[in-house]
Homo-oligomer: A and B are copies of this chain.
């Protein structure tokens, strides 16, 4: 079996082999740009790791795994237009560096390219992998729409939020794992357990991301701390805070939520973080993360394969959970 590092290396090399040299350049250059920015490549890595649980031959799982990474980057590209985000991974976003039209059309091409990679799946598994991918892609769009809708809504509960991040983030991790398992020759039960592991890991992963937005270290996190706070992003923590805050705390919270003046952002971040600490929201978020992480580990425990084969995925889950960036 290959280690996480060995599989990461394979993914990194294979991503670089993808060719985006066709004409017209105005269409393919932005794709090259986006995919050369890097990122954790966590989806294809998970996919190959899952395949490796059942097969020593990873070859057939590579193309669909890359398809998932291309698709993920496509969603970032289109999301960045919708969110009017200027920067991604320390570089200007495509719609900033080029323009909205380029970002729309290059994104469309990336979506097609991801299907072309998925279509390289062994025909024995093609229908199953393709349907799983399309359903997942659809759910990710639904998640994005809920995310947009939630900004305008005042009645978003914790369960709504969890369902939104399940769709927007977790299902693609789950799909990556299940796709690798299918291609590796897994039975349905194990493939489903890996899917569930992906859902629980994805939920824990996103909650950790929200957590790091408040409690992370700017030098390692790679994004500005408090980005979610200044724009009143309805994360698990803010939803909980709105639910729990009473009396003066509620008044204080309302005051800061009303502030969109950039010169007061530092104070806003500091004030809301103080409320998170005071009302136990920090602990609640950690509990929730831990709840999903525990479920994910249980999914792995239940996998019907030799226990020592599970170690790399266990380590990966722990690393994602206890990361600081």
Contact = CB atoms under 8 A, between A and B. Distances in A.
A298 to B, nearest CB: 30
Nearest to A143: B24
B126 A138 contact: no
Closest 9 CB pairs of A and B: A27-B145, A82-B101, A112-B137, A24-B145, A116-B134, A109-B141, A119-B130, A112-B138, A115-B134
A134 B104 CA distance: 18
A108 B71 CA distance: 11
Contact of A134 (B78, B107, B119, B146): B119
A72 to B, nearest CB: 13
Interface string A126-163: 11001100100110011011101100000000000000
Nearest to A134: B116
Nearest to A117: B134
Contacts of A108: 78, 107-108, 111, 141
Contacts of A24: 142, 145-146, 149
A81 interface: yes
Contacts of A144: 105
A26 interface: yes
18 contacts: A22-B142, A24-B145, A26-B145, A26-B149, A78-B104, A78-B105, A81-B104, A82-B101, A101-B148, A104-B104, A105-B141, A111-B112, A116-B138, A119-B131, A119-B134, A123-B127, A126-B127, A130-B130
Contacts of A113: 138
A27 B142 contact: yes
A148 B148 CA distance: 29
Interface residues of A, number: 36
A56 interface: no
A142 B23 CA distance: 8
A134 B112 CA distance: 6
Contacts of A146: 24
A138 B109 contact: yes
Contact of A119 (B26, B127, B138): B127
Interface in A20-71: 22-24, 26-27
A87 B113 CA distance: 30
Nearest to A108: B141
A119 B115 CA distance: 11
Contacts of A22: 142
Contacts of A111: 108, 111-112
A269 to B, nearest CB: 27
